[in-house]
Amino acid sequence: MSWFAFALLCLLGWGFADLFYKMGSDENDRYSHLKIAVWVGLVMGVCALILLPFSESFAPGRKAVTETGTYVLEEGGLHLTSAEGCLFSGQTDEDGEYLLSYTCLTDEKANGEFYPDLDEISAALEKGEAYEIRGEGLLKTLTLDPDGTYVFYRPGASLSDFVSSAVKYTPASLCYIISMVIGYAGLRYLELSIVSPVQNASGAFSAVAMLVFFSVRGTLGDHMDEFSPLNVIGVIFVAAGMLALAVVENRVNGRELKTEDRRLRYGALALIFPILYCIFDTIGTAADGIILDESTGLGVSEIDVLILYGLTFLLAGIAAWVYMLIKTKKAYNPFAKSEKYKGIAALCEECGQFFYVFAMAEKPVIAAPVVASYCIVSVILSRVFVKEKLKLSQYLCVIAVIIGIVLMGIAEGIGEA
């Protein structure tokens, strides 16, 4: 599946999650946001444990592999001859990129692939410099020396590998958890604010943050091929539609509330919640794009991100449950019938998260605005299931985002053709 398909599935999952978050939030329950956090932590934690055997970096029993041999760089590809026990095969994939796969005969779990840039390799070797290629997923390196030999290293699995990966992903996971809990709290006042559209402006901000980072790292050129004219126009439509929706919702809600009520009952809550969410989610999304990026990533694979994020949120959910127990002197039962919408929302959240990491791993800069537009799905679902009435201006904003997504879908189809 392409990044675009993953992004669409993600925005559908998160759109439905947003709907059920609204339905499961209680404006009169001061712990409503913490109860949602408990459910999300429970679902993500269980999924993380299920995925643990499929981890690329710390699955039990995985051995370290060190491989040496010789190589030949030709116009048609890179050919490696193993001196020990690995098989290498190269071919051009459907996207026109050169793919180098490996299989280690001494360890059936030690398989993977690289996407070497043959022109860059040739330029480095002509200068007499060694060239290091980083593989996808688990941090594994293939170093080509000018003398025609190579060294391949793939670390094994141990507690230290687990801790190393967890440390790398901690900044992103903490930012996500903070932003989501803030978002859950803001949902208690959603009908009085511009929460959802403002929150999801983080998609555009994170794309800018990633462009700045890749520019500083000197890898911006690797991402510029994502921006075909149709993609650029599509991103503009999506960003403009979400921004316009935020403005429209602010005006609509403003007319429906008495100024005195807003000032006395909620003060700055309607503004603080979405802004804080947007800030933390921007940092988290940008960090994900950087961590998952194939060329400059930190060696954490998509499955590992799901595992680490799930386990981190599980700890956050446990902390929320204990906090409520201490404050209320009563154990919260997430399996009560009244909590069903929170459970459904958590399942939809995890579904969206699964597709999200694969979309961000492939094309982080352009995928971020697409997945952030799930607020449009939420608006449509609210109209269908909650019977919220939409103004003509709101429909126009939704149509603008849909046009942008369709344009990017067309661009993706043209690229594959």
Residues 199, 337: one domain?
yes
Question: Could you tell me if 132 and 205 lie in one domain?
Answer: no
Say whether both 258 and 380 belong to one domain: yes
* Cβ neighbourhood burial of 301 (10 Å; 0-12, 13-18, 19+): buried
Say yes or no: 43 and 82 in one domain: no
CA-CA distances (angstroms) from residue 132 to 120, 145, 149, 184?
A: 11, 9, 12, 44
Residue 184 is predicted with a pLDDT of 73
Which of 156, 190, 210 is at the close of a domain?
Answer: 156
Domain edge (last residue) among 156, 184, 204 = 156
Same domain flag for 226 and 308: yes
Q: How many domains does the chain have?
A: 2
Please name the residues in contact with 265: beta carbons below 8 A apart, sequence gap of 6 or more.
none
Alpha helix stretches (DSSP H) within 187-218: 195-199, 202-217
Phi, psi dihedral angles at 128 (to 5 degrees): 80, 25
pLDDT of 346 reads 95
Token output for 130:
């060694």
Q: What is the pLDDT of residue 192?
A: 35
Specify whether 254 is located in the same domain as 284.
yes
Task: Name which of 170, 166, 167, 162 is nearest 57 in CA terms.
Answer: 162
CB 364 within 8 A of CB 293: yes
Which of 370, 361, 353, 3 lies closest to 180 in space, CA to CA? 353
Confidence (pLDDT) at 267: 41
What pLDDT was estimated at residue 262?
Answer: 43
Q: Which of 135, 156, 177 is the last residue of a domain?
A: 156
Within the chain, what is the greatest distance between any pair of CA atoms?
Answer: 78
Question: How open is the CA angle 22-387-201, to the nearest 5 degrees?
Answer: 50
Residue 391: its pLDDT value, please?
73
Residues 375 and 337 in one domain: yes
Which conformational region is residue 101 in: left (phi greater than 0), alpha (psi within -120 to 50 degrees), or beta?
beta
What's the gap between Cα 361 and its chain centre?
A: 8
Do 248 and 288 fall within a single domain? yes
Q: Count of alpha carbons within 13 Å of 340, Cβ hemisphere only?
A: 2
Report the pLDDT value the prediction gives residue 41, as an integer from 0 to 100. Answer: 95
Kind and range of the H or E element at 91?
strand 86-92
Q: With beta carbons less than 8 A apart as the criterion, state whether 398 and 246 touch.
A: no
Same domain, 292 and 377: yes
How much is the pLDDT for 145? Answer: 93
Contact 121, 137 (CB under 8 A): no
Query: Which regions of the chain are under pLDDT 70?
Result: 1, 56-62, 95, 107-110, 136-139, 157-159, 161, 186-205, 207-208, 211, 213-214, 217-228, 242-243, 245-275, 293-300, 386-390, 408-409, 411-417
The pTM is what? Answer: 0.70
Pairing of strands 111-114, 149-154: unpaired
Q: Nearest-CA neighbor of 140 among 105, 119, 109?
A: 109
> What number of other Cβ atoms are within 10 A of residue 32's Cβ?
19
Domain extent for 402: 3-58+160-416
Tell me if 19 sits within 8 A of 181, measured CB to CB: no
State whether 11 and 120 are in the same domain: no
CA distance 272 to 189: 11
The region that residue 235 occupies, defined by phi over 0 for left and psi between -120 and 50 for alpha, beta otherwise, is alpha
Contact by Cβ (8 Å): 346, 339: no
Among candidate residues 283, 318, 312, 315, the one with its CA nearest the CA of residue 175: 283
Task: Report the alpha-carbon distance of residue 223 to residue 187 in Å, rounded.
Answer: 35
